[in-house]
Structure 1
Amino acid sequence: MPGEDCLVRPLFGGAITSCFPPRFQDVSNIREVPNHQEVFADPSRDESFIFELLDLKREVGDNGSAVWFLRDIANEQDAAETMVLEHSGTLEAVGLGCGGGPTIVTTAVGKMALTKGRQGREAQNLVRVYLANLRLKEVSTDVLITAYEPILIKISMFRNDPNPHSFSAYGFS
């Protein structure tokens, strides 16, 4: 994405904005997306972004919260071969606060074998997952920003879909 043009996108009815390449399409134009998520995908590259608003996980410490969420995603998606490749410590994002309090940010990068939709384990793809957790304690919210980048795509995933660039293969919830 370095060097690519970016498009400012309103998220969650304009409450938040972000900027990323226009090649990422709004998945809600294709299928229903839960109200607490904004999902964008580039079907030609099989890459995606998910912005998610969650109730603050008070039982999870700030340090390592991104790793906790990365492992939680792996568990929820029944990922195989999950590995945390790197993670940051905590940092306070000045000017990114909400409700007057500080925003604590942690990041993690992992590698997972994931299956999209209802396909079996034989169709698992190896993906790199980039996750940032922004903790807005003043409004009891964890913001997750997750990006999926394919490392190895199993060709069999498109067996039932004659158009490999359609969104029918996307099974994010």
Structure 2
Amino acid sequence: MPQDFYSERPLFGGAIVSTFPQRFQDVSNIRQVPDHQEVFVDPARDESLIFELLELKNEVGDNGSATWFLQDLASEQEAEGSVVIEQSVVVEAPTLCYRTIPAVVTTAVGQMAISKGRQGREAQNVVRVYVANVRLKEVNTDVLITAYEPIHINPLSESASAVGAGFAAPAAQSGCMPMAEVFKLAVTTFKVNNWGVFGSV
């Protein structure tokens, strides 16, 4: 594995923890982030990792829930050419138990063209998006863990000035853990220390 130092990071005031590389900086130190989100970014690679606590979507079945959220994300960001590359089956997470009910987890990976911030369609970047949906039904919560990995940076995108236009350099070349691995690590180490963070407990 490339030399990419990672550590357990506190989320939502330490109520939740997850492990991922230290190169991901807490965006709340730079700008305001909604209370239900924790956003981390590596500006040198324009990669980001987002943790969200959402009210449980009862109308969405467990099977394919991550894909549903991925498609919801694509429409919310007015993405173009959105495709689902892979999706997982439903797995139970015995380490994430509230009372005796384990969480269920599904993941999906997609690719889409999206613009940053308020930029228009002419500045769209092609990104790979990794989504994990951790369903904590006992506390009426859908946790979303989303990772964004740029594949191709548009010369008109504001990202181009930071990371350069064209195809993104593979993570391993830069001595970084690939985003697929970052995502997997963040999901598998996701742990709740204080269930009170979900409000309905």
User: Considering the TM-score relative to the shorter chain, is it more than 0.5?
Assistant: yes
2:124 aligns to what? Answer: 124
Contact 1:126/1:151 (8 A) holds in 2: yes
Q: How far apart are residue 7 of structure 1 and its match?
A: 1.7
Which residue of structure 2 lines up, in the alignment, with residue 51 of structure 1?
A: 51
Q: Structure 1 residue 99: deviation in Å?
A: 4.0
Cross-structure match for 1:164 = 162
Residue type of the alignment partner of 1:84: V
Cross-structure match for 1:4: 4
Determine the C-alpha separation between the residues in 2 that align with 1:99 and 1:14. 20
| CA distance in structure 2 between the partners assigned to 1:50 and 1:117 by the alignment | 15
* Structure possessing the higher relative contact order (Cα contacts under 8 Å, 6 or more residues apart): 2
State the alpha-carbon separation in 2 of the partners of residues 11 and 99 from structure 1: 22
How big is the alpha-carbon RMSD for the aligned residues of Structure 1 and Structure 2? 1.6
| Count of residues in Structure 1 that have an aligned counterpart in Structure 2 | 163
Give the helix-richer structure, 1 or 2: 2
TM-score, reference length from structure 1 = 0.90
Of 149-158 and 129-138, deviating more is: 149-158
Cα distance change, pair 86–6 in 1 and its aligned pair in 2 (3 A): same
Note the residue ranges of structure 1 that are not aligned, 5 or more in a row: 166-173
Deviations 1:19-69 (A, max 9, x none): 111110000111110000000000110000000000000000000000000
Helix, strand or coil: the match of 1:97?
strand
Q: Tell me what 1:19 maps to.
A: 19
In structure 2, what is the Cα distance between the partners aligned to 1:135 and 1:48? Answer: 22
Tell whether the 8 Å contact from 1:127 to 1:152 is kept in structure 2 after alignment.
yes
**Partner of 2:138: helix, strand, or coil?**
helix
Unaligned 5+ residue runs, structure 2?
Answer: 164-201
SS of equivalent to 1:131? strand
Q: Are the counterparts in 1 of residues 8 and 20 from structure 2 also a CA contact under 8 Å?
A: yes
Given that residues 99 and 139 in structure 1 are in contact (C-alpha distance below 8 angstroms), is that contact kept between their aligned partners in structure 2?
no
Closer/same/farther in 2, CA of residues 59 and 2 from structure 1, 3 Å limit = farther
Distance in 2 between the 1:19 and 1:68 partners? 25
Q: Structure 1 segments of 4 or more deviating over 4 A? A: none
Q: CA deviation at 1:158?
A: 2.8
Number of the residue aligned with 1:134: 134
Residue 146 in structure 1 maps to residue 146 in structure 2: yes
**Secondary structure, counterpart of 1:68 in structure 2:** helix
Aligned to 1:101: 101
Moved more, 3-12 or 129-138: 3-12
CA contact (8 A) 1:113 1:127 kept: yes
